[in-house]
Structure 1
Amino acid sequence: MPQPANPEPAPDFDSMLSRKFGPEVANYFSGSPLNRVGFLRHDHTFLSQALRHPSTQFLLCKDLQPLLHATQPGRLGFVKHAVVEPVMGEDPYASTEADIMAVWNSTTYTPQMIFLGIDEKAAEGLRYKNKKNTYSGAPYFAVDVTPRASVKAACEKLIEGLEAKGLGFATGRVMDIEAHDAAIYAEARQLLDWNARNPFCAQCGQPTLSVNGGFKRTCPPKDLARAGSGTAGTLSTTAAAPVDETERPPCATRKGVSNVSFPRTDPTVIMAVANHAGDKLLLGRQKRWPPHWYSTLAGFAEPAESIEEAVRREVYEEAGVYVGRVVIHSTQPWPYPANLMIGAVGQATPEGERIDLGNDPELDDAKWFDFGEVREALRVGTSGLGEEAGPEYKEGGLRLPPSTAIAHQLMVSVVNGFVSAQPKM
């Protein structure tokens, strides 16, 4: 299957940075065409107008899988407000956030919705002016239409209607759609998944409410679901004193600046490690991978650890190799479920190149590969997991990840001169 192209990097103006470090590298799942205008997420007047504007696009997700275009392979399928309105119900932004919390009932199910941003290049878009500036663009939202709870029937009817028109939802990891669509989906998936994983307050255990366009969750002081339950949040010693049963127990998250829960992103290091001579690359493989398939090493950064330290620790733990100098190459948002892949290039110390897999059993094998062998594999032996390599690939040769993987970009960089400064490809 042909791999989609990676997004275009930022414009490479003649600058000190571009002259010294070369052009920026943009990886798959980055390069979103949307301006997130995060400072407007709390503005319910803006969100309400954006919700119903004729230019607004809705990305529907079922079980976190996106709707695909019916006739354009590699593109997402977006719908208009009229299509998704039966599932969404009334305008969720018709009231202010404070008013919504005052009448919030945790037992009432509402499909999760995320405000993704605006496409400022759209020919026809919403024009919104706040106190200081005017913002123009086509708004984008993501909506979870997984059939469940009170909207189960409405979601099933919606999905049946889409399927009757030839539309369907993706299966498996979505790595074969156009780059800009992939970036939009990555934002949608990560926020939908985070909201689904965090329905309760980590401090008091009470249900939380999604706010700020889906980018925060708060622990409201009241919940109408408590009315009549006999579980008053505040008990009085005076029998005549009224008791508001909707009040919830005190929670530390309602005080100071820590009054909300923010989306989680897990920093992960992934590194191409060259030997000290600068002519071999360290690659490893997991047992579950296809035969002859190798990639760069990777692992989670730990608390109180710099990225450089994380690179050195992970390489030592997994392969027993000692790394000296480390430089950051590029990064990649990875929405499975919430990683930021921080790509780095490292170089082994002169006496630290011996491979030892005895520290951590994660790898099935690790080897030093000549740059030439890696370059040839990058030319003929790349594909997605479970897919066939190119027609020039010879059985038994090295297999590597596709161009949409940051590991691929790291390997290309190293074997083409990032380390040796002598381009060979």
Structure 2
Amino acid sequence: MSEAFTNFLGGSPLNRLSWLRTSHSFLNAVVVSPSTRWILFNGGQPLIASHTGTQKRSLALLTTEDVKPLLGAEPFFGQGEQEGQHCASDLPVLEAARIHGLPIVFLGLNETQSSGSALPSSEFKDPHSAVSKLVGTAYFSADVADLDENKVNEAIENTQLAKDGSTLTFVEPRAAMSSLDAYTAAIFAEARSMVDWNQRNKFCPACGSPAYSLWAGWKLGCTSLLPWADNTDKKPCPSGRGLHNFSHPRTDPVVIMLAIDESGEKILLGRNKKFPSQFYSALAGFVEPGESFEDAVKREMWEEAGVKVWNIRYHSGQPWPYPANLMVGYYATADSSAPIRTDLDNELEDARWYTREEILAVLRHSSGTQFSRSDYKKIAEIQDGPDDSSASAKPQEQLVEVNNDEPPFRVPAPSVMAGVLIQHWVEKRQYHM
């Protein structure tokens, strides 16, 4: 069985060590390791480093010493009622709790040994000794949007990267994708979705009390459940009953599908009303409750284009951290002679069948998958955002420029799910088909 295709933003190199998220002794030991690195965001915008004497930009990976001025007093995890106080016990409501300061997310460990050296939770009776046995780089992330701007700027100016001459700026996340390689892109995808979830969910959904961070940013608890909470004249919060009533991160799946006619030589592309001029893409939509991926493909194709599909085949998935989607790519078969309708949900401005030659002409064009900053902004404004593309995405080597005129239409770059589906169809690649 062949390996599945790995999309940009996927293929995470990290061992997430989920069984150690509850251990504040492990987290407090690993967070101060000199090899640990941080990804900072400001309202979802990642910190990007522009390097002196070169046009190169990259994701700014900071040390714990760099970010300490933004984190507040230690301990960073397992905090008690007062700032600087360790929690008194290992109660479930205090597992790796962070009561004070901005939420911190532990992303995982990039192990440098191929066999893996991550240790079981039972090894952490002496956490500092156990952490010394780990070989690799631990990653953490945080969003500084709620901190004083001057304090943030001062901390950034005093980072080692800044002292070495790099310029550090927070950048719109989709534009920042052009600064990411495959390794940092996958870590970025996890980090951005997680800090966004922590930023958006500040109150208990059951009773409205303030929420606090547990499990190194992977769980939220209701402050009414804390041992020192004053709940006089309050009804017990429902989140304290049962095992599954705390808030955990969510991922919203989106099916994104390319309809191919029975000859295999035509594909159906649509144009959303908010898309930039002459931009066409694969159709897409959110999976609804009580619906399988395949059901969603059929429903969305019918609702958006009035097209009935069958022979639905999975291609691959792509994490899409805007804010927490999973793009699930599919091919499906349809009748290209049947009428197309865009008047059912009125989401599309146009939909039409394109031949392989027409798509090839666009992909070979120097501007066929290129967009301006304003174009990216328009695409980003679409709620489901499955067809956004990277500013740096380039056609693959075999696709050469044929002229400098405007292409007849444009399609997504091969760095995004829709672009991958189109590219692989053109190349007749048979991933899961």
Same fold (TM over 0.5): yes
**Structure 2 counterpart of 1:93:** 77
> Which shifted more, 278-287 or 126-135?
126-135
Cα distance in structure 1, aligned partners of 2:181 and 2:170: 16
Q: How does 1:203-242 map to 2 (within 5 A)?
A: 203-222=206-225, 233-235=231-233
What's the CA shift for 1:311?
A: 0.5
Q: Percent identity?
A: 36
Instruction: Report the equivalent of 2:137.
Output: 138
Aligned-pair CA distance for 1:265:
0.8
Quote how far apart the aligned CAs of 1:131 are: 2.1
Structure 1 CA distance for aligned equivalents of residues 228 and 24 of structure 2:
24
The answer to whether residue 267 in structure 2 is matched with residue 281 in structure 1 is: yes
Aligned counterparts of 1:307 and 1:67: Cα–Cα separation in 2? 35
Cα shift readout 1:329-377 (whole Å, capped 9, x = no counterpart): 00000001111000000111477x3211110111111110001211232
1:157 aligned partner: 154
Aligned mates of 2:288, 2:119 — CA distance in 1: 42
- Equivalents in 1 of 2:215, 2:277: separation in Å? 47
Conserved? CA contact 2:209–2:224, under 8 Å: no
- Residue 104 of structure 2 corresponds to 113
Change (3 A) 1:252 1:280: same
Greater shift, 30-39 or 152-161, is seen at: 152-161
Counterpart amino acid of residue 159 in structure 1 = I
Aligned to 1:12: none
Equivalent position amino acid for 1:139 in 2: A
Q: 2:201 aligns with which of 192, 198, 201?
A: 198
- The number of equivalent residue pairs is 380
Q: Which deviates more, 196-205 or 69-78? A: 69-78
Shift of residue 290, structure 1, vs aligned partner: 2.7
Distance 1:311 1:187 in 2: 26
User: What CA distance in whole angstroms lies between the structure 2 residues aligned with 1:154 and 1:311?
Assistant: 48
Indicate yes or no: 2:63 matched with 1:52: no
CA distance in 2, matches of 1:77, 1:198: 26
| Counterpart residue identity of residue 76, structure 2 | P
C-alpha deviation, 1:220, in angstroms: 3.7
> What is the CA deviation profile of residues 261-288 of structure 1, one whole-angstrom value per residue up to 9, with x for unaligned ones?
1111111000011112221100011233
Q: Secondary structure at the match of 2:303?
A: helix
Say if 1:35 and 1:74 are closer, same or farther in 2 by CA, change over 3 A: farther
Please, which moves more after superposition, 392-401 or 44-53? Answer: 392-401
**1:9-42 deviation digits (Å, cap 9, x = unpaired):** xxxxxxxx12xxxx42111111222111111111
- Sort the Cα spacing of 1:126 and 1:396 in 2 relative to 1 into closer, same or farther, 3 A: closer
Residue 423 of structure 2, aligned match among 409, 412, 416: 412
Which stretches of structure 1, 4 residues or more, deviate above 3 A after TM superposition?
94-102, 125-130, 132-136, 159-165, 220-226, 384-394, 418-422
Q: Residue 392 of structure 1: which of 381, 392, 402 is its match?
A: 402
Within a 5 Å distance, the mapping from 1:231-270 to structure 2 comes to 233-235=231-233, 249-270=235-256
Separation in 1 of the partners of 2:14 and 2:335?
43
Q: Secondary structure at the match of 1:79?
A: coil
Alignment-derived partner of residue 14 in structure 1: none
1:54 to 1:356, Cα distance in 2 relative to 1, 3 A: same
Contact map agreement 2:414 2:423 (CA 8 A) in 1: no
- Of residues 320, 341, 355 in structure 2, which corresponds to 1:356? 341
- How far did 1:206 drift? 1.2
1:407 shift after superposition:
0.5
Check whether the contact 2:39–2:140 (CA below 8 A) recurs between aligned residues: yes
- Give 3-state SS (helix, strand or coil) of 2:274's partner: coil
In structure 2, do the counterparts of structure 1 residues 39 and 130 end up closer, same or farther at CA, with 3 Å as the change threshold?
closer
Superposition deviation, residue 233 in structure 1: 2.2
| Worse overlay, 173-182 or 376-385 | 376-385
Distance 2:185 2:271 in 1: 26
Cα distance in 2, alignment partners of residues 87 and 100 from structure 1: 27
Provide closer, same or farther for how the CA distance between residues 396 and 417 of structure 1 changes in structure 2, counting only shifts above 3 A.
closer
Q: Note if contact 2:315-2:331 (Cα within 8 Å) is conserved in structure 1.
A: yes
CA distance, structure 1, for counterparts of residue 220 and residue 334 of structure 2: 44
TM-score (norm 1): 0.80
Show the counterpart of 2:369: 382
Cα offset for 1:299? 0.5
Residue 223 of structure 1: how far off its partner (Å) = 5.7
SS of the residue 2:46 aligns to: strand
Structure 1, unaligned runs of 5 or more: 1-16, 227-231, 236-247
Distance 1:192 1:101, change over 3 A: same
Computing the radius of gyration from Cα coordinates, the structure with the larger value is 1
Indicate if the aligned counterparts of 2:97 and 2:213 stay in contact, CA closer than 8 A: no
Q: State the distance in 2 between where 1:251 and 1:205 align.
A: 9
Secondary structure in 2 matching 1:69:
strand
Alignment of 1:167 onto 2:171: no
CA gap 1:84/1:114 in 2 versus in 1, 3 angstroms: same
CA 354–70 in structure 1, closer or farther in 2 if over 3 Å, else same: same
180 and 271 in structure 1: CA distance in 2 versus 1, 3 angstrom threshold:
same
Quick one: which amino acid aligns to residue 294 of structure 2? E
Normalising by structure 2, report the TM-score: 0.79
Residue type of the alignment partner of 2:418: A
Letter in 1 for 2:155: L
Q: Distance in 2 between matches of 1:420 and 1:250?
A: 52
State whether structure 2 residue 324 is matched by structure 1 residue 338: yes
Consecutive unaligned residues of structure 2, counting only runs of 5 or more, are 79-85, 125-132, 376-390, 396-400
Q: C-alpha separation between the residues in 2 aligned to 1:383 and 1:355?
A: 28
CA deviations 1:74-133 (Å, max 9, x no partner) are 42111111111111022222545747967x999x7511211010110189x998664269
**1:316 paired residue number:** 302
| Alpha-carbon shift at residue 304 of structure 1 (Å) | 0.6
Cα distance in structure 2, aligned partners of 1:143 and 1:211: 14
